[in-house]
Structure 1
Amino acid sequence: MSRIPEVEAALRPDLRGRTAYGAPQLDVAVQLNTNESSYPVPGEVIADALDRLRTDLEGLNRYPDREFSSLRAALADYLAMQSGVRLSPAQLWAGNGSNEVLQHLVQAFGGPGRTAIGFTPAYSMHPIIAETLGTRWVDGQRHAESFDLDVDSAAEQVRACDPDLVLLCSPNNPTGTALPFAAIETVLAAAPRAIVVVDEAYAEFARPGTRSALELLGDHHRLVVTRTMSKAFTLAGARLGYLAAHPDLVDALRLVRLPYHLSTPTQAVAEVALRHAPALLATVDAIKAERDRLVEELAAMGLRPVPSDANFVLFGGLADAAETWEALLAAGVLVRDIGIPGHLRVTAGTPEETSRFLEAMGDLVPEHLDHAQRPADRPAAHRHHGGTS
């Protein structure tokens, strides 16, 4: 984005030339690019939310509950049900999406003169949040071909930079793979003074046997586990993210949050959703089935999908990812170009959406496989590599 000279000169030097985070929001038939749920909120949840809001709207002349106490209790109950880990409400914190929760963590434990490390490719908002809040970012590396995180390599990289913050993803975005459970404890040991954050935005979609970092909270007071209601709960538009940590760590976040940061309607909708968790999570198994179908059928086409614990699939083997992205868009299917050469990421949608994507992809293979001839020119008006929602 170009700016007038006066604005450009006034902008912080470290922000000049940056591109804002964002994914294309295009009016196409099949939207599989931002890992939203393709399923609408059930009618029973909508009716309950409307009843709750009718009551709460009468009190909008007053500020919301600053401590969102009933929401924190509801989150603790949900996590006990979902993971088997019983936490106290004092261990829970929430924000307007998990990005705000991550921002609170960096505001409290990062900042000028401090260092954060993550392992690429991973959620691209991690370095954006860190760097825009003045934190030095170290781009840790995964295996170049498989994108796996080697436990010993991760520990060595962490020791080398002695960070204040470590940000991990499990399941990882954009690869979809869950961390080896031993990696979390190994990183905690390798960074004895760091706050270690495990981003579990897609935890509800993990394959059987995948363990949550929530299990480690009792033994590790520097550990934080972040979650969201945007994905499995089908509530991307509600903007509710949360974290679990030691009560003293949670208390530190009060120093940086804005006053009354969670609105009354946000708290109300989230509480209603948690009360209806079984209904909202009823689509998770269907989404996982479509995810596994994507892996199987993309592999049969000669592409290289990564087995996933999330609600999306990263696949490689393309001659030109940007060109394939454009061709899919022309066929009415929107996926995500996340900037990894030869790779695209597709969200697992409804069976009908999955079929539309696979049919469109099948029409492009084998021309778009990595042995295909690349044309000299291609349009790129709508591509964006700024993030991996």
Structure 2
Amino acid sequence: MASLSDLPIRDDLRGLTPYGAPQKHVRYALNVNENTHPIPEDVARDIVESLARAVLTANRYPDREFTTLRESLAAYLGHGLGPEQLWAANGSNEIIQQLLQAFGGPGRSVLGFPPTYSMHPIITAGVGSTWVAAERDADYEISPETAVRAIEQHRPDLVFLCAPNNPTGTALPLETIAAAYEATDGIVFVDEAYAEFMPKGQPSALTLLPGRERLVVSRTMSKAFAFAGVRLGYLAADPAIADALRLVRLPYHLSALTQAAAVAALSHAPEMLAMVDDIAFQRDRMVAELPSLGFHPWPSEANFVLFDGVEDPQATFRALLERDILIRDVGIPHALRVTAGTAAETDFFLESLASVTRR
């Protein structure tokens, strides 16, 4: 059998390793920011019935424009958005890929602010674009001045921002997004995968869309909607952005089953989002209790907590894994990240962390 190095792979992909968080069968999987709460039974039943109806017509290609889904997404987001401003794909990663296929490519650059979502530079490399890393301010923040300075220095074709940021949970001021937009004539992409976990009343980047045809705001149903296994991401932007993505999307890229499941789930949005408050409570509880164990948790507006003060992250990771808990080493020195799960999961994590720390 040949090895990867034996194949005529692109030169810029040689030596790279694929993305992938550890996948292990454990009792408590708190490493990839999934929603660990189960889908309510009545909602699950309605989704299954919708899937059954979709299967009856699976001999035909799905609606290429996923019209009903776009209408449902527009109604869910509000903010005066129309279906023509929505676009969906198989997870927000495919949204990012399509955006980069349309506006990136060889000879073009993407500016980001690490530490941030690790797939941003990976997908950038996959389409042959250049990833440019800019520095954040103290405490993982990005001020308007910092964003503008980086844009003026590097003149990127796309600017990627994460709000709240992954893996730190840091909030991103709307002023920073607006300043970044004014500083570039390229695309400004705001990844709002964790937006539903932000404090109630805190405005989303969606409020900045009117009059900004190069601003793109993405969301996902993986987190707040507990739909990670369904793979449904989406964006809101000027309708011309969707026109650009039609040029690069694969035909019928969203299956009839994906569309049916997502539409059914969105019709139960209040029930699906009822678990968000509990997740935010568990997140805040960890932020409050971790200092008593000798760690420094960073403020988070997402469904996870990054904490540092970990003398040996890999040793702590392995010790927790021995106790059937999987969390995440995100590569930040002396830090680990843990997903906010159920009350029982949070109890066990805090108790186990205290125990392995005392050893």
Q: Indicate the TM-score class for this superposition, using the shorter chain for normalisation.
A: over 0.9
Q: CA deviation at 1:208?
A: 3.1
The answer to which of 292-301 and 197-206 deviates more is 292-301
Q: Deviation of residue 156 (structure 1)? A: 0.4
Separation in 1 of the partners of 2:103 and 2:346?
Answer: 41
Asked if residue 188 in structure 1 is aligned to residue 181 in structure 2, the reply is: yes
> Matched residue of 1:146: which SS?
helix
CA distance in 1, matches of 2:2, 2:134: 36
Alignment check: 8 A CA contact 2:69 2:262 kept = yes
Contact 1:172–1:179 (CA<8 Å) still a contact in 2? yes
Whole-angstrom distance in 1 between the partners of 2:291 and 2:267:
39
Mean CA deviation greater in 320-329 or 280-289: 320-329
AA in 1 matched with 2:46: D
Match of 1:176 among 152, 159, 169: 169
The corresponding residue for 1:302 is: 294
Instruction: Give 1:302 deviation, angstroms.
Output: 2.0
Contact kept in structure 2, 1:112 and 1:134, CA below 8 Å: yes
**Alpha-carbon distance in structure 1 between the residues aligned to 2:291 and 2:144:** 27
Q: 1:124 aligns with which of 118, 129, 146?
A: 118
Instruction: Output the amino acid matched with 1:322.
Output: Q
1-structure distance, mates of 2:317, 2:189? 32
Partner of 1:102: 96
Asked whether 1:312 is paired with 2:304, we answer yes
Correspondence for 1:245 among 225, 237, 240: 237
* Cα separation, 2, equivalents of 1:287 and 1:6: 42
Q: Which amino acid aligns with 1:51?
A: E
Residues in 2 aligned to 1:6 and 1:342: alpha-carbon distance in whole angstroms: 33
- What is the correspondence of 1:1-389 to structure 2 with a 5 Å cutoff? 4=2, 8-80=6-78, 85-143=79-137, 146-191=139-184, 193-365=185-357
Separation (CA, whole Å) in 2 of partners of 1:146 and 1:88? 37
Deviation at 1:141, TM superposition (A): 1.4
Measured in 1, the distance between the counterparts of 2:90 and 2:235 equals 12
Opposite residue 139 of structure 2, the aligned amino acid is: S
In structure 2, distance between residues paired with 1:7 and 1:175: 35
Residues 35-69 of structure 1, C-alpha deviations (whole Å, 9 max, x = no match):
00111111111211222222211111110000000
- Contact between 2:109 and 2:158, CA under 8 Å: does it hold in 1? yes
What is the RMSD of the two structures over their aligned residues, measured on CA atoms?
A: 1.3
Q: TM-score, normalised by structure 1?
A: 0.90
In the TM superposition, residue 18 of structure 1 has moved relative to its aligned partner by 0.8
**One-letter amino acid of the counterpart of residue 57, structure 2:** G
TM-score, structure 2 as length reference: 0.98
Q: Which moved more, 1:271-280 or 1:10-19?
A: 10-19
1:152-200 Cα distance to aligned partner (Å, 9 max, x none): 1221011111111111000000000110111001111111x11000000
Partners of 2:257 and 2:218 in 1: CA distance? 22
SS in 1 for 2:211: coil
Deviations along 1:89-118, one digit per CA (max 9) or x if unpaired, are 000000000000110100000001101011
Task: Identify if the C-alpha distance between structure 1 residues 43 and 139 changes in structure 2 by more than 3 Å, giving closer, same or farther.
Answer: same
Identity of aligned residues (%): 54
Is the alpha carbon distance of 1:58 and 1:339 closer, same or farther for their aligned partners in structure 2, counting shifts above 3 Å? same
Distance 1:6 1:333, change over 3 A: closer
Provide the secondary structure at the position in 2 that maps to 1:339. Answer: coil
User: Aligned-pair distance for 1:27?
Assistant: 1.1
Q: Which amino acid aligns with 2:23?
A: Q
Structure 1: tracts of 5 or more residues without a match: 368-389
Give 1:74's aligned amino acid. Answer: S
Query: What is the distance in 2 between the residues matched to 1:113 and 1:346?
Result: 37
- Matches of 1:74 and 1:352 in 2, distance apart? 34
C-alpha spacing 1:363/1:67, structure 2 compared with 1 (3 Å):
same
SS of the equivalent of 1:196 reads strand
Amino acid at match of 1:166: V
Per-residue CA deviations over 1:313-334 (Å, capped at 9, x if unaligned) read: 0000111111111111112111
